[in-house]
Structure 1
Amino acid sequence: MYHKIKISLLVGIIALAACKKNDTKGEEPVVNEDPSTFTEIGQIDIGDVGAAEISAFDPSTNRLFVVNNSEVNKIDVIDMKDPVSMTVIGSISVQPYGGVVNSVSVSNGKLAAAIESLDKQAAGKLVVFQTSDYHELAAVSVGALPDMVTFSPDGKYILTANEGEPNADYTNDPTGSISIISVEENYTVSTLDFADLANQEEDLKSKGFRIFGPSNDFAKDIEPEYITVSADSKTAWVTLQENNAIAKINISSKTITDIYPLGFKDYNLAGNEIDVSDKDDGMEPKKWNIKGIYMPDAIAVLETNGTPFLFTANEGDAREYDAFEELDRIKNVSLDPTSFPDAATLQKDEMLGRLNITTTLGDNDHDGDFETLYSLGARSFSVWNGNDGSQVYDSKNELDKKVTEAGFYDDGRSDDKSVEPEGITIGKIGNTNVAFVGMERADAVAVYDINNPIQPKFLQLLQSGDAPEGIMMVKAEDSPTKKTLLIVSSEEDGVIKVYTPKTI
């Protein structure tokens, strides 16, 4: 009898230990995958230019919702039960709500879509659909030209970055804004603009912030581009691409608390060498007396030891309108003879002559010639401290190098923004935090180990469709294959590609 009791107690202890092990903070078991071994397993083509710009995956239905503006404005629905053999099973028309659909996001069986007005300068729409049957749950007005939408991680808020671009003749320049939609409060909308921070303009500009449109209005000139949200759903960071800054948002109080100017990149420093000409018969990176304006598009956050690290894809984007165009080539402008004593040589096509620069910066003494030259974008991705906006890492010219080594570099883009990093997303694969950087002009995605966010390590380069725009990762526990999936959607050819890593 004694031995039976002893055995029963031992079995009970083992069972309790197993229960505790499986119930550790509700964590999913770690899938052992090698993040340096992504390979393509499937692809689907849903259209031409304007198709497959942004995608969002719903694990509850194994459906991928994809922006498609190639012919009619709609959201295509793709069955992803088998990523090797994907099929389009339906679509959601957005024509009843306005014009182009710019972005989609999914949370808890809800699909949020950012839709611009037929009149781009008018208020846009945020529409929420049920992912199971596509019926409308809500449709609310947001700011002008909602360009990106995301759910907060807890699903309680939806945020849109409302770019507020002007019309062609710059007679109507809407206020740039961020809309916060409360899901639990019947989709109540709070739209924030930057008017209350206008008194900081001169100080911000001294640190690299740009206010330069013909409207000469602080709030109207700011153009929010992309949003990322902290894991606790309390803070958001928004790229202000044309303005070369990141804004910080307190979601609970619905206030814009800070603007962080990003400054400029020095292409005359070791490691920052770039190729500046599309007429030099190849990729020849050199040091140049030029500055780069970071001007990030996509942004993602990784929180480590209490610090939010912001990862940005430093694309650059020029204002080009009928009434205002900021770009010109260096060969077409006057260079200050003191700053550039060898101007005649530098302005040759095979030297600096072909490089596009902004004419809104660099004529420091306003005498008609340029003492400093500023090109758009930084040909890199960067990491910034989300608490103060300080830069803690920049990839320098590594993206150019890796793309060149792979044979993907397009020298025809050297005079503009090179590989043009545009998309970025972050995820965890096993015990490794990973960043994926999409490069629009290289048709490729770079994969980085970011366990140490101030010293990312390059892992591999993946070839994508033409002009990758949407970069998203599906966690193994949410994936139909129970393996991590990387989904890359490309706006120039409508191709969506799916990649997965090898299991260790």
Structure 2
Amino acid sequence: MLKHLLLATCATALLSGAAQAEMNFNRLSSFAVPSNMAQGEDQSRETSAEIIAASEDGMTLIYTDSPLGVVGLIDITDAANPKPLGNIEMPGEPTSVAVIGQRAYVAVNTSKDYVNTSGQLVEVNLETREIVESCAIGGQPDSIALSKDGSFLVIAVENERDEDLGDGRTGQMPAGFVSMFNVTDGVVDCATLKDVDVTGLAEVSPEDPEPEFVKVNDLGETVVTMQENNHIVIIDKDGNVTASFSAGSVDLEGIDADDNGALSFTDSQMGRKREPDAVGWIDDTHFATANEGDMDGGARGWTIFAKDGTVVYESGASFEHELIKIGHYPDKRSDAKGVEPESIEVARFDGTPMVFVGSERGSAVGVYDVTDPSAPVLKQILPSGVGPEGYVAIPSRNLLISANESDLIEDGGARAHVMIFEYGEGEAQYPTITTEGMDELTGFGALSGLVADAQTPGLLYAVNDSFYKNQPTIFTIDATAKPAKITKAMRVTRDGATATGLDMEGITLDGQGGFWVASEGNTEKDIPHALYHLDATGAITQEVTLPEALLANEVRFGFEGVTMIGDTLWMAVQREWKDDAQNHVKLVAYTPSSGEWGAVAYEKAAVDTGWTGLSEITAHGDWVYIVERDNQIGDAAAIKKLYRLKAADMVPAPLGSELPVIAKEEVRDLIPDLKAFGGYVVDKVEGFAIDVDGEMFAVTDNDGVDDSSGETFFLDLGQAGTM
């Protein structure tokens, strides 16, 4: 009888599970902000997507673009294929935007300087895309919000400080305040402007409150953050301050507080001021803050407050920890504010109240179920693009939108983007690789070389490059898990200490339980072009320097991969050295037992923009596989390809002689694989391996989240025999 009851219970559970399909957010598409410029405009100018809002029907997005002095519009009728609707020039610097029906209200900073402050509330008709009205604001505006019933607008007039004066401290006049406008039939009445005095409330510079962000609940109550003052106030719909309290501080444990080219989460910061930026109401009694920090703080997480100031939930370092596990931790911000949570959006999807916490420096957004405000549940971390500043949720269309302010054109990086996520049935696409489940909190990034274990299917090893100069590491990866799981991080050592002077770009097995590692040299940084033999513990047992026949013509762009064919190591040189013909690079051979060197030549693709180079070399069966890529991203990316060469053709000629050019065959264009994640095509496909079952894997280098989206794509490319 018990057996039948158990079977019935299991059957009921299975039926219940089948009825409850898995729901997740996945990135659907992305929109490059420069594409909103008119034909003939200089698209090399810096752009930005900062604060973003949606039309009432959810079909049009409008975002502020401060560098261009415009607001941009995007048609998302087909959210998978957003289309440009152009820019509308503003009379100054747009700082925030809210939408009422088909009217967008834009807060615009028209200040001459930090002392002579002024602003305007500019009304834009979204149908005609014209400015139809403007109201004067008595200072420099920051955030703008609309009441839930549409009866008034509220603006945080920050009158921000000059960070180059007075050691960048608050206490600089004029003081900021909060402005309110009545709205009638969807139209703002300029004559109803009311300014709310919020001076004299904060412990920090009470004379200079600098209101930062505003949001309004269903009761018409406005919550105002004063970031620099570490203070929060509540204002009723009549403009009366009903609550005022410090944002308080947090004791942080398990953080990295040192920018030193290594990830070590053993530090602490006691009494760290929250200094909240964005805020959003969860319900009429609770709101959430993103604790980015400014002058003296930054708590690396987010908080839920009751409107009397009681802390209901504090994330502490847990939000940052989740970004660490998926490779989105920016080590170069360790000595500042870590991942810097800056954005908050609150919405209900499928009846579930959710808080979206955006990390400016980690370039990601956490999705939390806040059904119980005292115990939020993290559901996902989404890749949000570089420097997310603002979010807008459109639950009626199951959409979440991020506006990413960073434009890295000067560094040859990603342009500012708007990214669109859709909530629906199906598994989460991201992350693709994680350290979740390791005994010790472990971060990773800048993955480069990749090699498969000789015996176990799906077992791989990867190395990081010189971004983590003080933490060279071999990562063990279980590629059979989804997402792939890093299960071990073995540090590379020399004479018992952490090895320095390495730029590990390739790894292969030595056939005896150890490894060979190829290091790309950079003489300006005292990193030699070299090969290193490592034992099974990661200790360097042999260093092989390059012969003079190679070094006489060396440039910075050296070995980017290493593989073993028989008893010979083969290394791919990334780009031309001084003695190479145009668009030709060397595949260099070294036989450890004899010390002999040789090479063949490889012809890479010629491109009109930027350069092409080799990123990886992998021997498998009768073939040698090469990853070839250009240095372009997004729509400009043209070459992210996998080629193969016949292993039998890999016969090295002596160095200094005329090198035979090896014939290559294209195996796979990797651009569609990279586009499948809904974002822009990233630059660096760096690692490639084929396991003992013939399954192919590739991984991208996220540059240590430095001027990068932080996204690492670990790709399962299927069977080598099917290509």
Q: Partners in 2 of 1:112 and 1:283 — Cα distance?
A: 46
Of the three residues 65, 70, 74, the one matched with 1:74 is 70
Of the three residues 443, 447, 466, the one matched with 2:386 is 466
What is aligned with 1:488? 402
Aligned Cα RMSD in Å? 2.1
1:360-439 to 2 correspondences below 5 Å: 376-386=297-307, 388-439=308-359
1:80-479 to 2 correspondences below 5 Å: 80-94=76-90, 97=91, 99-121=92-114, 122-167=117-162, 168-169=164-165, 173-184=173-184, 186-187=189-190, 188-195=192-199, 198=200, 205=203, 210-211=204-205, 218-219=206-207, 221-232=208-219, 234-251=220-237, 253-267=238-252, 272-279=253-260, 281-288=262-269, 290-303=270-283, 308-318=285-295, 358=296, 376-386=297-307, 388-476=308-396, 479=397
**Dislocated runs of 4+, deviation >6 Å:** 32-35
Q: Partners in 2 of 1:400 and 1:492 — Cα distance?
A: 20
| Cα offsets for 1:138-159 (capped at 9, x unmatched) | 3111232101111111111111
Q: Partners in 2 of 1:35 and 1:89 — Cα distance?
A: 35
Q: Partners in 1 of 2:256 and 2:21 — Cα distance?
A: 33
- Matching residue's letter, 1:277: D
| Cα offsets for 1:339-358 (capped at 9, x unmatched) | xxxxxxxxxxxxxxxxxxx4
Residue 462 of structure 1: how far off its partner (Å): 0.6
What is aligned with 1:63? 60
Q: Normalization by structure 2: what TM-score?
A: 0.50
SS of equivalent residue, structure 2 residue 255: coil
SS of equivalent residue, structure 2 residue 323: helix
Could you say if the C-alpha distance between residues 248 and 471 of structure 1 is closer, same or farther in structure 2, counting changes exceeding 3 Å? same
What is aligned with 2:422? 500
Q: Partners in 2 of 1:55 and 1:157 — Cα distance?
A: 19
- Matching residue's letter, 1:314: N
Could you say if the C-alpha distance between residues 33 and 148 of structure 1 is closer, same or farther in structure 2, counting changes exceeding 3 Å? farther
Task: Decide whether the 8 Å contact of 2:88 with 2:130 is kept in 1.
Answer: no
Q: Partners in 1 of 2:103 and 2:240 — Cα distance?
A: 26
| Cα offsets for 1:76-133 (capped at 9, x unmatched) | 1111111111111222110xx3x21011111222201010014144121111122211
What is aligned with 2:613? none
Higher strand share: 2
Q: Normalization by structure 1: what TM-score?
A: 0.71
Task: Decide whether the 8 Å contact of 1:438 with 1:444 is kept in 2.
Answer: yes
Q: Which is further off, 489-498 or 172-181?
A: 172-181
Could you say if the C-alpha distance between residues 179 and 35 of structure 1 is closer, same or farther in structure 2, counting changes exceeding 3 Å? farther
The runs of 5 or more residues in structure 2 that have no matched partner are: 1-18, 35-44, 408-415, 427-723
The percentage of aligned residue pairs carrying the same residue is: 28
- Matching residue's letter, 2:32: D
Task: Decide whether the 8 Å contact of 1:67 with 1:76 is kept in 2.
Answer: yes
SS of equivalent residue, structure 2 residue 86: strand
SS of equivalent residue, structure 1 residue 254: coil
Could you say if the C-alpha distance between residues 116 and 155 of structure 1 is closer, same or farther in structure 2, counting changes exceeding 3 Å? same
Q: Partners in 2 of 1:84 and 1:61 — Cα distance?
A: 14
Q: Partners in 1 of 2:113 and 2:236 — Cα distance?
A: 28
Which of the pair has more CA radius of gyration? 2
Task: Decide whether the 8 Å contact of 2:393 with 2:399 is kept in 1.
Answer: yes
Q: Partners in 2 of 1:58 and 1:143 — Cα distance?
A: 27
SS of equivalent residue, structure 1 residue 401: helix
- Matching residue's letter, 2:274: Y
Q: Partners in 2 of 1:422 and 1:73 — Cα distance?
A: 22
The runs of 5 or more residues in structure 1 that have no matched partner are: 1-31, 212-217, 319-357, 359-375
SS of equivalent residue, structure 1 residue 52: coil
Q: How many residues align?
A: 379
SS of equivalent residue, structure 1 residue 189: strand
Residue 228 of structure 1: how far off its partner (Å): 1.1
Q: Partners in 1 of 2:103 and 2:243 — Cα distance?
A: 31
Could you say if the C-alpha distance between residues 467 and 33 of structure 1 is closer, same or farther in structure 2, counting changes exceeding 3 Å? farther
Residue 428 of structure 1: how far off its partner (Å): 0.6
Q: Partners in 2 of 1:434 and 1:35 — Cα distance?
A: 16
Task: Decide whether the 8 Å contact of 2:231 with 2:275 is kept in 1.
Answer: yes
| Cα offsets for 1:363-392 (capped at 9, x unmatched) | xxxxxxxxxxxxx11000100001x11111
Could you say if the C-alpha distance between residues 112 and 226 of structure 1 is closer, same or farther in structure 2, counting changes exceeding 3 Å? same
Residue 287 of structure 1: how far off its partner (Å): 3.7
Higher helix share: 1
| Cα offsets for 1:200-253 (capped at 9, x unmatched) | x5xx53xxxx22xxxxxx33x111011111113x211000100001111011x2
SS of equivalent residue, structure 1 residue 183: strand
Q: Partners in 2 of 1:34 and 1:454 — Cα distance?
A: 26
Task: Decide whether the 8 Å contact of 2:111 with 2:118 is kept in 1.
Answer: no
Could you say if the C-alpha distance between residues 492 and 151 of structure 1 is closer, same or farther in structure 2, counting changes exceeding 3 Å? same
Q: Larger relative contact order (C-alpha < 8 A, sep ≥ 6)?
A: 1
Q: Partners in 2 of 1:418 and 1:228 — Cα distance?
A: 26
